[in-house]
Chain A
Amino acid sequence: MTFMKKLYGAAATLALTAGAAMADPALIYDLGGKFDKSFNEAAYGGAERFVSETGGSYKDFEITSEAQREQALRRFAESGFNPIVTTGFSWASVFEAVAPDYPDTKFVTIDGFVDPAKHPNVLSILFAEHEGSYLVGMMAAQASKTGTVSFVGGMDIPLIRKFACGYAQGAKAVNPDVTVISNMTGTTPAAWNDPVKGSELTKAQKAQGSDVVFAAAGGTGLGVLQTAADEGILSVGVDSNQNYLQPGSVLTSMLKRVDVAVFDSMSAGSDLETGVKALGLAQEGVGYAMDDNNAALVSEDMVAVIEAAKAKIIAGELSVHDYTSDDTCPVLDF
């Protein structure tokens, strides 16, 4: 508790300013909480890796309301944490208000975008989710025997449509006649944590012929993976490697290496380079997961097709359409 007390004293008196002795990093999770088995939890995993590999320490905070975003950022900045990492795309406007007040503190927004010209102390880390989804879409279409694959999204927001659109493009690239079914769990934040609804959607999609389901839905996805295993069809996990959750039923996982982003940012400490970092296939920020759990499901031929496409994307010869660039998807209607 002595450490905590010191911290507390520092905060209360506002005596410490940025860049002071205790330059520990801090991590703020988005609404949905630390243990969402998905995005936020991946960030937590990266932070824990930082602790185990570097012996450092960090402080984290789970916001429970919109008003806490600014409060938490300021509280940590005033207490001398550096850098301060946030997860989720809802932080951009808060950074614009807070970052200028703490020029010596480095801020990291994962999934958010803040103009580096105006805010030189902010690092925006963006992932090319459409590229990773494209690859798992190819894998799904190859594995499908029915010629129908499907997608279960969490809350219906552009980011999730970006996943869905990339997935559909990949599937069509392998088999132009493939049918892609897409469903969103809901329109409220509750859609991130509704495994029952996820399960129902999976059953409905199976009834429509789908035999591979890609879940990009946070905690809802757990219900999708479970039901797919129960129903004897394949599923695709998201964000972290979820192959182990239902071994032999999860075809692969679309990796979005939030953990790496968090680990790298924390490890860089106050020397963190700011600006905009786009993490695509080339940077290994996104990808697909292969391990013992899905080795039997994926043939070498399948991998070869995917690797070829991956190389083309990295080389710039193949461009996957990003839904959020113009809010349209050429192969899928929402």
Chain B
Amino acid sequence: MDKMPPWADAVLVPVISLLLAAAISSIVILAIGENPIEALNYMIEGALLSSAGWGQVLYYATNYIFTGLAVAVASHARLFNIGGEGQAQLGGLGIAMLCLFIPFPHWTLAFVFAIVAAGLFGAAWAYIPAVLQAKRDSHIVITTIMFNYIAYALLNYMLVNVLRPEGAMEPASGNFPDNIHLPTFQEMFSYGDTILFRSAPANVSFFLAVIACIGIWVLVWRTRLGYELRAFGQSESAAKYAGINPARITIIAMLISGALAGMMALNTTMGYSERLVLNASEGAGFIGIAVALMGRNHPVGIFFAALLFGFLVQGGTELSFWTSIPTELIVVIQALVILFTGALDNMVRMPLVKLFALGKGDR
């Protein structure tokens, strides 16, 4: 068959897609009378040329790694989990209940329990759509979307009526105790008078995200469960033949996916805001879909795609700080990247495949 070498598939396609997105973004920026080179400069300086910028990028990337992995695990079993938002919010609820009501002597202990709580709550929220899919054939796309809305409403109810401190206007929980504050990059990496990652939100959760990448890689490609997951995802009829229980795999895949999405809240809720706020997932559940798509459902790809999206968000913030490019157009630029790297992937891939086929033919 006509096939590209793996390096071209993994590197060349995304790079060309990015260049195309950049080119069209430049036209958009030119059209409103700004200088695209300067704009790119602001993005790069603000996101990549200072440790504080990196601290922001890595904070966003942590969210996207978790939600990207969540989408990837489910899609290996050919399940489209769009419920990352809701699962992440539920994860946050689990963390908040744990941190507010149980006194921990040290953050490490709190962190370990919070991982479990976030995972359990996220998984529980994914469990119901999973069971509905496995036993009742209700389409998981519909149910997970619906569960996002139920999660919003539930969180709203909990924050307005249960967790909100007396007299507070904002629908948010009280602050978590100071002693379970998670170390930020600033606290971890600053030394002497040199302050690195100044006031950036990146925190120890990032390392958990990296560990999750490795864990998911092992799970999917090195365990029997991962083997069954992928087999089921490729062919349900074959999975049945091999004695793989479809209902069981559907539920397990969604539980893992939900747990990963839930763990995203460790970063936002425990690591950054240190209280539960409304909409703590910040759309990361949806961006996770683009991250997984661009990362080819592979943890390494997801890691780098998450970094890219982190850069886009932080760079976009810098753009709106220092230029008069309206926020809406910055969203347009981010959307262009998603469009080109995710949805229009084949537009770049097909000509490349042909090009490589030609190259081989000439030899």
Contact = CB atoms under 8 A, between A and B. Distances in A.
Interface of A: 1, 4, 7-8, 11-12, 31, 33-34, 61-62, 64-68, 70-72, 74-75, 89-90, 92-93, 101, 111-113, 155-159, 187-189, 324-325, 327
A33 B273 CA distance: 21
B160 A93 contact: no
Contacts of B9: none
A66 to B, nearest CB: 6
Nearest to B41: A8
Nearest to B316: A64
A155 B275 CA distance: 20
Contact of A156 (B59, B156, B313, B323): B156
A157 B279 CA distance: 14
B267 to A, nearest CB: 10
A61 B59 contact: no
A280 B103 CA distance: 41
Given A66-B273, A189-B279, A4 B323 contact: yes
B273 to A, nearest CB: 6
Contacts of A33: 327
B216 interface: no
B189 interface: no
B60 interface: yes
B268 A67 contact: yes
A66 B271 CA distance: 13
Contacts of B320: 61-62
Nearest to B157: A187
A112 B169 contact: yes
Contacts of B172: 90, 93
A20 B89 CA distance: 42
A159 B172 CA distance: 13
B156 A66 contact: no
Nearest to B164: A158
A90 B149 CA distance: 22
For A155, A158, A189, A327, which residue has the most chain B Cβ atoms within 10 angstroms?
A158
A112 B152 CA distance: 23
Contact of A61 (B272, B277, B321): B321
A60 B317 CA distance: 12
Contact of B282 (A65, A70, A71): A65
B170 interface: yes
Contacts of A34: 327
A188 B322 contact: no
A112 to B, nearest CB: 7
Interface in B278-322: 278-280, 282-283, 313, 317, 320-322
A111 B279 CA distance: 19
B153 interface: yes
Nearest to A74: B199
B192 interface: no
A92 B277 CA distance: 12
A187 B59 contact: no
A156 B160 CA distance: 8
Nearest to B282: A65
A324 B156 contact: no
B322 A11 contact: yes
11 contacts: A61-B320, A62-B320, A62-B327, A71-B56, A72-B317, A92-B170, A93-B275, A101-B199, A113-B169, A157-B160, A187-B157
Contact of A12 (B38, B50, B153): B50
B245 interface: no
Contacts of B170: 89-90, 92-93, 112, 157
Contacts of B59: 67
A183 to B, nearest CB: 15
A178 to B, nearest CB: 27
B156 A89 contact: no
A55 B76 CA distance: 60
B137 interface: no
B159 to A, nearest CB: 9
